[in-house]
Structure 1
Amino acid sequence: MGKRFLIISILCYLSSFWGQAHELRPALLQIKQTDSIHYSVFWKIPRLGDKVPGIFVDIPSGQLQASGQPSPTTGYIVYAYELTAPDGIRGKRIGIEGLENTLVDALVSIQFLNGEGISLMLQADRTHAKVPEQATTWNVIKTYTILGIEHILLGFDHLLFVLALVLIIGQFSKLVKTITAFTLAHSLTLALVVLGHVSLPGPPVEAVIALSIVFLALEILHLQHGRPTITRRKPWLVAFTFGLLHGFGFAGALSDIGLPHGEVPLALGFFNLGVELGQIAFVSVAWLLIQWIPWQRPIFRPLKKVPAYAIGTLAMFWTLERIIGMI
């Protein structure tokens, strides 16, 4: 009992760090042309708890002037500017100063008067880029695929849900079918929300997503005690049902980021593809590691329940944290 209490205590302490890591969203620089030489600029920086990364817009070819006071929104702080660029910004360098000192990526979304849109991704190793003379499909594909991969790999609640499914199912062929059901469900919800057909408030959805992980942690413990569970009998049904809910979480992140004007289906499709690539990589590695551990050996038997308690403890912490955040 003492060892179990110690493990749970450590996990509770670390969960505050992991909870913040789940909030690691990209910064967003939106530039919209208003006439031949003027642009409105909105710079959204993600807040990491109470902290805001020291990153700044850098557009050497124009004059940037603040057009209002910074305004906080859910998870972000937003700065508004007016950009004057007599020579335009096509073919010119644009960047984010200080990005190399953070773990934050920055999505640059540019919309011109003729309706043409350009998307760029800036990262710690590429803090500046040249604005293309013309929009290309490849820029949208690359940018939104990377965003999808990053979102799933930094979305620890989604990963814990998938990890719990891996622990419950075990058999790889059955696991593939289950993950496919989860994929179909969250892809459906993601598309419906982004295209404006359905909507749910974000905070309650996030709380229930965490609660779905608690449910799977309990299912793991029931299995270890030899009790039948619905997840073991019909894993695809559980994965599909909760996948619909997790899709709302993916949609919330994509709504924060935004989709390029005129390229919504393309960006949505490749964001979803990125999510799936990240998910497949995680499931493959997790399954191989679990199969590699010789659970029957005496040294590993006491550790068999640790994953269920670890997953359940973190998920319960997130559930309570998100419920309290709504009060």
Structure 2
Amino acid sequence: MRAANCLAALLLAALLGAAFAWPDSARADELRPVAISFTQLDENRWRLDWKQPVASPAARLAFPTPPDNCRMAGELVVRSGAAALIGGVEVECDGSVADRRIGARDLVVAGDALLRVVPLGRAVQTHRLTASEPEATIAGIPAAAQVWRSYFGLGVEHILEGWDHLLFVIALVLLVARGWTVVKAATAFTLAHSLTLAAVTFGYAGLPSRPVEALIALSIVFLAVELARGDGETLTRRLPWAVAFGFGLFHGFGFAGALREIGLPEGEVPAALVTFNLGVEAGQLLVIAAVLALRRVLQRVSPHAEPPAVRLAAYAIGITGSYWLFDRIIA
């Protein structure tokens, strides 16, 4: 019985964590890495622009590091944006910047940075900088897979760090509880938010962020209520793919807001959208596999411990979703 209780605690740990992170998770839909753009103006002059998300008005602007053969050649311009500091400056470079290093060591302390290098007459390069790899090498001929790697990683990161989307997926797994049925429902969720994300990106649809965030929270509360009802028949158990698809349309507006913050590479928008969504799907499948595995172990070791563990998880998810719902309505 002691082992069963430990396993039940493991199952709940991932779900209850959100309940103790309300202040940080109330806007969990945001994906806001640092955005850096290095754009060539003529043979020797480049423009270095960057946006640094900040948590407080007292934050100071950090600086990216240009290639070592470049120097500042204009006035630094700094302005404040929505929860961000924005900097820009012209730099002059001696010779080619190909194979030179450009980085953001001071900017990636609290998160990732997305770097775009835009040379004249050549393809745009996209690099994802992290705390462990804060610099990138500017390629003379960029690899076609750069955008795919960068936006795939951003998609995985967004679903794993975005608690609102993550709790929806976890509640769906616990509610449906059948392997392939869950995968199909999660895929319907991905397909729906992919459609909305594409529609918003290309200007065919759009909704204000506040009602979108409230509807995302409402979707979590809806699944939590159904989960708390026990093993009885519910709409989601009858039509899991339909419920996942319907709510996925609204979650897509949230993903669109996240991508709007980081931007999409010119000329590579379709590739970025596809790989971002593939990353989201990969992250979802990891979460689904982990929750199903924990539940299967609990069923084998102590079947009697599973129903109360799932019910407690439903309450934790429902309370968290309700908090987000009220916070997003009245904030």
- Give the letter aligned to residue 241 of structure 2: W
Residues 1:235 and 2:240 are matched in the alignment = yes
Question: Structure 1 residues 175 and 189, CA, compared in 2 at 3 Å: closer, same or farther?
Answer: same
8 A Cα contact 2:38 2:46, kept in partner: yes
8 A Cα contact 2:200 2:253, kept in partner: yes
Residues 1:279 and 2:284 are matched in the alignment = yes
**Structure 1: 5+ residue stretches without partners:** 1-6
Residues 1:198 and 2:178 are matched in the alignment = no
Distance (whole Å) between structure 2 residues aligned to residue 51 and residue 161 of structure 1: 35
The residue correspondences of 1:72-151 to structure 2 (distance < 5 A) are 72-73=81-82, 75-99=83-107, 102-114=109-121, 116-151=123-158
Distance (whole Å) between structure 2 residues aligned to residue 137 and residue 115 of structure 1: 12
Tell me the percent identity.
40
Shift of 1:20: 6.5
**Structure 2: 5+ residue stretches without partners:** 1-12
TM-score norm. by structure 1 comes to 0.87
Farther off after superposition, 294-303 or 271-280: 294-303
Question: Structure 1 residues 14 and 147, CA, compared in 2 at 3 Å: closer, same or farther?
Answer: closer
User: SS state of the match for residue 195, structure 2?
Assistant: helix
8 A Cα contact 1:47 1:77, kept in partner: yes
8 A Cα contact 1:46 1:52, kept in partner: no
Match 2:217 to one of 210, 213, 234: 210
Farther off after superposition, 194-203 or 236-245: 194-203
TM-score norm. by structure 2 comes to 0.86
Shift of 1:49: 6.0
Distance (whole Å) between structure 1 residues aligned to residue 155 and residue 94 of structure 2: 36
Q: 1:270 is matched with which residue?
A: 275
Count of aligned residue pairs for this structure pair: 315
Residues 1:42 and 2:43 are matched in the alignment = no
8 A Cα contact 1:99 1:123, kept in partner: no
User: SS state of the match for residue 104, structure 2?
Assistant: strand
Task: Determine which structure has greater relative contact order: mean sequence separation of CA pairs < 8 Å that are 6+ residues apart, divided by chain length.
Answer: 2
8 A Cα contact 1:116 1:261, kept in partner: no
User: SS state of the match for residue 56, structure 1?
Assistant: coil
Q: 2:10 is matched with which residue?
A: none
User: SS state of the match for residue 97, structure 1?
Assistant: coil
Runs (4+) of structure 1 moved beyond 6 Å? none
8 A Cα contact 2:190 2:280, kept in partner: no
Q: 1:184 is matched with which residue?
A: 191
Farther off after superposition, 157-166 or 81-90: 81-90
The residue correspondences of 1:49-68 to structure 2 (distance < 5 A) are 52=59, 55-59=62-66, 60-64=68-72, 65-68=74-77
